[in-house]
């Protein structure tokens, strides 16, 4: 039986991942904030989008796009997820290498378990580096210089973390950073022996990129040491990043058309996102605000979006609403947890196969031909 029969959808990989991970790791990966209304709204908003088919106009689907100076095989990329190393040691490098082979972007988080220097070579010069804005300008300049030297091409500045979120499910699971090996955590780890063996061999993951700058995290908190470095950026902060980075710059965390208009002159692309429902419970989903943001910035500004993507259909829905590219983090991490490196390949395969099937139904040769084809 091949993988398509056992795991035909990303939801099948998610179920397998949940069985293979300790509970506290699953809670970290899967949780939102508050009662998770924002996370649920992401999927509900996508489910409400109906796409118009086009018959009598057959087309040979080609999902390739051009964005930020590169040709990509799909309008899909791997979003930054902090501490991916909790899922599997070496997760960031595995995903970067897999994305490079598949011809899609991979975005490394500032709070990854591997450094830009370790991951950059695997991106083949087309990686994206996500920056949580440091308060100290010298720290910012050093992080950007490290990422550029490591081979990262595109900078993604996250602007929607003005304050730490609570993420109550993580608190209930007693997950701390740095991790404390309490009896509860050890018991949960014992229930996932393959995961535990890999962690024993590799060591507990740490925020290695930030270790040269960050004070030790306070014990007993679910907030990581990176919060001690961060500042809520303004437009002048974005201009400083623009001056210090010589590649494409993406502003991530836009939900308001007014913010999009203010950020557009500084950015090469805008990323519409509510942080996967992990920051602000009352935030709207990207799918709900994309049309207004597209109208506000015009057709020429590249828009990236995330939030609740579970299939190639969801990718096409976001494109139809105004995005040029859709990003997802959880789905590919579920693949990694379920099947190791080949699970990342399989997650990308699932997205590609679904996208091609739906483009055929819509009579679309290129993904952008779905733009605006939303039934109302």
Each residue's pLDDT tens digit, 316-373:
999 999 999 999 999 999 999 999 999 999 999 999 999 999 999 999 999 999 999 9
Averaged over 84-102, what is the pLDDT? Answer: 97
Catalytic residue among 275, 333, 334, 346: 275
What stretches of 134-228 show up as alpha helix (H) in DSSP? 137-149, 168-172, 183-190, 193-202
User: Could you give the count of Cα atoms lying within 13 Å of 283 in the half-sphere of its Cβ?
Assistant: 28
Reported as a single tens digit per residue, the pLDDT across 163-204 is 666 666 666 655 666 667 788 888 888 888 999 999 999 988
pLDDT category at 33 given cuts 50, 70, 90 is confident
pLDDT category at 240 given cuts 50, 70, 90 is very high
pTM for the structure as a whole = 0.92
Which candidate, 244, 215, 243, places its Cα nearest to that of 229? 215
Task: Give the per-residue pLDDT at 363.
Answer: 95
Q: Do 252 and 130 contact (CB within 8 A), yes or no?
A: yes
Cα 354-366-81 angle, rounded to 5 deg? 55
Phi, psi dihedrals of residue 6, rounded to the nearest 5°: -80, -35
What are the C-alpha distances in Å from 218 to residues 31, 176, 179, 180? Answer: 22, 9, 11, 12
Is 333 known to be catalytic?
no
Averaged over 241-269, what is the pLDDT? Answer: 98
Task: Give the per-residue pLDDT at 176.
Answer: 63
Say whether pLDDT at 219 is over 80.
no
Cα distance between residue 96 and residue 24, in whole Å: 25
pLDDT category at 1 given cuts 50, 70, 90 is low
pLDDT category at 224 given cuts 50, 70, 90 is low
């Amino acid at each position: 039986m091949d993988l398509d029969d056992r795991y035909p959808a990303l939801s099948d990989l998610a179920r397998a991942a949940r069985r293979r991970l300790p509970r506290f790791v699953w809670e970290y990966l899967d949780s939102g904030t508050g009662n998770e209304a924002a996370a649920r709204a992401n999927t509900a908003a996508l489910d409400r989008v109906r796409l118009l088919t086009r018959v009598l106009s057959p087309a040979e689907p080609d999902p390739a796009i051009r964005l930020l100076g590169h040709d990509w095989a799909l309008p899909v990329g791997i979003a930054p997820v902090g501490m991916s190393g909790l899922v599997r040691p070496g997760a960031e490098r595995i995903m970067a290498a897999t994305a490079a082979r598949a011809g899609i972007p991979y975005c490394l988080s500032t709070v990854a378990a591997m450094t830009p220097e370790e991951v950059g070579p695997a991106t083949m010069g087309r990686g994206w580096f996500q920056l949580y804005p440091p308060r100290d300008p010298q720290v910012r300049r050093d992080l950007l210089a490290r990422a550029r030297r490591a081979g990262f091409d595109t900078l993604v500045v996250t602007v929607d973390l003005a304050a730490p979120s609570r993420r109550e499910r993580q608190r209930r699971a007693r997950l701390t950073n740095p991790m404390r090996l309490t009896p509860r955590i050890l018991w949960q780890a014992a229930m996932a022996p393959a995961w535990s063996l890999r962690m024993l061999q590799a060591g507990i993951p740490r925020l290695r990129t930030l270790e040269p700058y960050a004070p030790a995290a306070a014990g007993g908190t679910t907030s990581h040491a990176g919060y001690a470095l961060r500042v809520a950026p303004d437009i002048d902060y974005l201009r400083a990043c623009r001056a210090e980075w010589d590649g494409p710059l993406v502003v991530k965390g836009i939900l308001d058309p007014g913010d999009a208009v203010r950020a557009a002159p500084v950015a090469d692309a805008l990323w519409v996102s509510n942080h996967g429902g992990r920051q602000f419970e009352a935030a709207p989903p990207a799918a709900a605000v994309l049309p207004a943001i597209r109208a506000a910035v015009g057709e020429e500004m590249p828009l990236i979006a995330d939030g609740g993507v579970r299939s190639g259909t969801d990718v096409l829905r976001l494109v139809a609403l105004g995005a040029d590219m859709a990003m997802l983090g959880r789905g590919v991490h579920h693949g990694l947890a379920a099947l190791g490196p080949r699970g990342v390949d399989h997650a990308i395969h699932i997205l590609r196969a679904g996208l091609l099937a739906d483009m055929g139904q819509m009579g679309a040769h290129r993904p952008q031909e779905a733009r605006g084809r939303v039934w109302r």
